[in-house]
Structure 1
């Protein structure tokens, strides 16, 4: 399963991520995806072109919860670019037990590159497209 993902980052599960039912709250799964997405942006060079004028927005997000996560545990989030279009790209994500194929959740993100002041989608910068292509499975 891990071989479907080209980028991995470690995620620290905090005691405060747990809810009254004794497992990590569902909203935290999205926070773990967000943490991986931001580190992924740095890995693909988005920080070279992301500024007050332009950058990414999360246009869509989904998560299939496969099993509960219980503290303490070491996790990794895997990410793979699934498709690259002119103004956007898709990503597949999964949460794994560190150094294991045990998967807790899998999700999808749609990311659009935007001119922030204009509020309009613009073409992905070439340096970003080059970086994204390195993380397609």
Structure 2
């Protein structure tokens, strides 16, 4: 089990994604692989907005691990809000942390996960120092307050 040891996280992006009928499995809830797609969609949208996509040489962000803890099953119909946070940037990487909340259930937490993003050289396939422009953008992001946990009434 991968534990999230990030103590300070910064909210960087929030997106609401519709749950599709085809996202469900034979058990009648969203298949576990789809949670990773929700996180991927939110992460890619945010990376794209930041300009953190592969450069002209093909060097760019690669996911070296990903994890998800399932709290409650999401079901169709509905919408899931994916909040993307980042932890502190390292030499060649940074952590993304994500929360998935049900829009129709008072934004109750249904799953949480994340991924380690590493900047990789297309030529060598090995990690390299994050570009200065990316480091600068990451450092300029302020710590946001966490969304309060929903309370069922």
Query: What TM-score results when the alignment is normalised by the length of structure 1?
Result: 0.88
In structure 2, do the counterparts of structure 1 residues 104 and 124 end up closer, same or farther at CA, with 3 Å as the change threshold? same
Match of 1:35 among 29, 34, 41: 41
The answer to whether the 8 A contact 2:10-2:142 is kept is no
Aligned residues: 134
Corresponding residue for 1:53? 58
> Which structure 2 residues correspond to residues 90-105 of structure 1 after superposition, within 5 A?
90-98=95-103, 100-105=106-111
The answer to whether the 8 A contact 1:45-1:131 is kept is no
Unaligned stretches of 5+ in structure 1?
none
The answer to whether the 8 A contact 1:7-1:80 is kept is yes
Local SS of the residue matching 1:33: helix
Corresponding residue for 2:115? 109
> Which structure 2 residues correspond to residues 78-89 of structure 1 after superposition, within 5 A?
78-89=83-94
Q: Deviations over 1:85-120 (max 9, x none)?
A: 010001111111238431110012101000112111
The answer to whether the 8 A contact 1:80-1:135 is kept is no
Corresponding residue for 1:26? 32
Greater C-alpha Rg: 2
Could you list the runs of 4 or more consecutive aligned residues of structure 1 that deviate by over 4 angstroms after TM superposition? Answer: none
**Larger strand fraction of residues:** 1
Local SS of the residue matching 1:34: helix
Q: Aligned equivalents of 2:99 and 2:51: distance in 1?
A: 22
Q: Aligned equivalents of 1:122 and 1:44: distance in 2?
A: 19
Query: What TM-score results when the alignment is normalised by the length of structure 2?
Result: 0.79
Q: Deviations over 1:5-31 (max 9, x none)?
A: 332012121110000110000000001
Q: Which moved more, 1:91-100 or 1:12-21?
A: 91-100
What value does the CA root-mean-square deviation take over the aligned residues? Answer: 2.0
